[in-house]
């Protein structure tokens, strides 16, 4: 009966990685592969700051059961994480729960995985920690270049050091020599982790990642002893803004052009190196389109259904930019206004929240060692 305790521990795969690395796209690709090839039931837990999440809309549009942790990392919302995982496990009985952490998480082993293993061994089977690394930005974000203009270097390095399995995303966009250089640099930071080149576009190694998530391999790495305060400055540099609105198009509108113009408008307000990650999704009854912007790289993450939409839909934007929250919010609202006016789209019920996240204190870090 739905709601009863599952007969066996439910498999959970936790995904870490910096902002814009491609965590959501990988979770989507893996989930879709397992549904189509193993008839597996996949559930997703999304995680971010704020109250309206692009990733949640994205996953639900793909047909997955989704729970979300809002307002901070899994680390500081551990009890809520467990409640959501239990709900999915007991009510939905999935074969796998994929939990995608916030892009600034630096303490998943100590504050999430270890407590899960210690407190709930009968309920959950924890896969090795997966960390996604963007091949295109790796040399800058990993601090390989001392003059790097990257928004953050300490956070991505720590995430790699924590990893048990490292997924190198967007490999279709780099040359072999660059990929080799990234792999060698990662091996210096973490010589024990398995490294898997991957592409959402070509589906390179999606099967391998999926099979690892579903395998009997479990997380065995001990948490790293690191003073988490050293990451506070990089986290505080980022302004965050979550925007949502209803949209109405009386005539056919090209969803791609509409979103691209919004993204270009936002990008014009900032230096490209300040753009840690901006993602937008436009959904209607007949289509869903998601775009992401990292630095000066704009990418279509997914398109389902028709490219053109008419009637009513929903627009959601999540932006993480090296900026004041006020400046970021202004750039988003003005870009949406200009693009909607140019394409004769009506915007209504706008909601936006802009902020700098407060310093985080893991809720179970000190209880489980």
Percentage with pLDDT > 70 across the chain: 92
Provide the pLDDT for residue 366.
Answer: 43
Question: How does pLDDT run across 284-327, given as a tens digit for each residue?
Answer: 988 999 999 999 999 999 999 999 999 999 999 999 999 999 99
Mean pLDDT, rounded, for 9-23? 97
Between the alpha carbon of residue 365 and those of residues 78, 112, 336, 355, the distances in Å are 10, 8, 41, 25
pLDDT value for 94 = 98
Amino acid 368: pLDDT: 42
Structural contact between residues 75 and 107, judged by C-beta atoms closer than 8 angstroms: yes
Give the pLDDT confidence of 92-131 residue by residue, as tens digits. 999 999 999 999 999 999 999 999 999 999 999 999 999 9
Of 266 and 363, the structure prediction assigns the larger pLDDT to 266
Q: What is the average pLDDT across 358-366?
A: 66
Confidence band of 228 (pLDDT split at 50, 70, 90)? confident
Please, are residues 70 and 51 in contact by the beta-carbon 8 Å criterion? Answer: yes
H-helix or E-strand spanning residue 117: helix 114-119
User: Can you point out the beta strands (E) in 31-143?
Assistant: 42-48, 65-70, 96-100, 124-126, 130-134
pLDDT at 327: 98
Mean pLDDT of 194-212: 98
Average pLDDT over residues 58-81: 93
- Give tens-digit pLDDT for 53-63: 899 999 999 99
Q: Kindly report which listed range (2-11, 149-158, 343-352) carries the lowest average pLDDT score.
A: 2-11
Dihedrals phi, psi of 362, to nearest 5 degrees:
-55, 135
Rounded average pLDDT over 352-360: 87
Which pTM does this prediction carry? 0.93
Taking residue 254's Cβ as centre, other Cβ atoms within 10 Å add up to 15
Q: 172: closest CA among 205, 196, 202?
A: 202
Tokens of 78: 């551990």
Mean pLDDT, residues 327-343 taken together:
98
Contacts of 265 (CB under 8 A, 6+ apart): 331, 334, 335, 336, 338, 339
| Of 69, 31, 42, residue with least CA distance to 53 | 69
What span, in angstroms and rounded, lies between the C-alpha atoms of 338 and 321? 20
In this structure, are residues 331 and 303 in contact, taking their beta carbons and an 8 Å threshold? no
The DSSP secondary structure of 211-265, one letter per residue, reads HHHHSS----PPPP---GGGGHHHHHT-EEEEEEEEEEEEEEEEHHHHHHHHHHH
Q: Which domains, and CATH codes, for the chain?
A: 10-233 (3.40.50.300), 235-355 (3.30.70.1120)
Which tokens hold the place of 246?
């209803």
Between CA 269 and CA 236 the distance in angstroms is 20
The answer to whether residues 178 and 205 touch, using CB atoms and an 8 Å cutoff, is no
pLDDT band at residue 140 using 50, 70 and 90 as cut-offs: low
User: How does 288-322 read in b/e, with b if 16+ C-beta sit within 10 Å?
Assistant: bbbbbbbbeebbebbeeeeebbeeebbbbbbbbbb
């Amino acid at each position: 009966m739905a709601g009863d305790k599952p007969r066996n521990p439910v498999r959970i795969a936790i995904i870490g990685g910096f902002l814009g690395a491609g965590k959501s796209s990988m979770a989507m690709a893996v989930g879709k592969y397992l549904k189509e090839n193993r008839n597996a039931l996949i559930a997703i837990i999304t995680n971010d700051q704020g109250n309206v999440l692009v990733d949640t809309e994205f996953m639900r549009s793909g047909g997955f059961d989704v729970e979300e942790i809002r307002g901070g990392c899994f680390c500081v919302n551990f009890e809520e994480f467990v409640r959501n995982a239990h709900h999915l496990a007991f009510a939905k009985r999935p074969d796998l729960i994929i939990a995608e952490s916030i892009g600034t998480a630096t303490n998943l082993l100590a504050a999430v995985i270890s407590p899960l293993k210690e407190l709930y061994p009968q309920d959950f089977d924890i896969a090795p920690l997966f960390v996604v690394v963007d091949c295109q930005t790796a040399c800058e974000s990993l601090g390989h270049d001392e003059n790097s203009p990257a928004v953050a270097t300490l956070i991505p390095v720590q995430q790699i050091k924590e990893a048990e399995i490292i997924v190198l995303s967007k490999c279709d966009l780099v040359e072999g020599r660059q990929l080799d250089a990234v792999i060698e640099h990662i091996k210096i930071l973490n010589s024990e982790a398995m490294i898997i080149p991957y592409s959402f576009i070509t589906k390179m190694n999606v099967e391998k990642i999926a099979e690892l998530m579903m395998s009997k391999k479990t997380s065995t790495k001990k948490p790293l002893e690191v003073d988490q305060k050293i990451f506070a400055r990089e986290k505080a540099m980022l302004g965050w803004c979550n925007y949502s609105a209803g949209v109405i198009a009386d005539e056919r509108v090209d969803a791609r052009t509409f979103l691209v113009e919004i993204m270009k408008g936002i990008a014009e307000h900032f230096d490209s190196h300040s753009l840690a990650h901006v993602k937008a999704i436009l959904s209607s009854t007949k289509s869903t389109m998601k775009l992401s912007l990292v630095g000066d790289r704009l990418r279509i993450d997914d398109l389902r259904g028709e490219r053109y939409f008419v009637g009513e839909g929903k627009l959601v934007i999540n932006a993480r930019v090296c900026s004041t929250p006020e400046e970021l919010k202004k750039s988003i609202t003005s870009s949406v206004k200009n693009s909607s006016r140019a394409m004769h789209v009506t915007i209504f019920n706008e909601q936006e929240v802009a902020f700098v996240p407060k310093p985080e204190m893991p809720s179970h870090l000190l209880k489980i060692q």
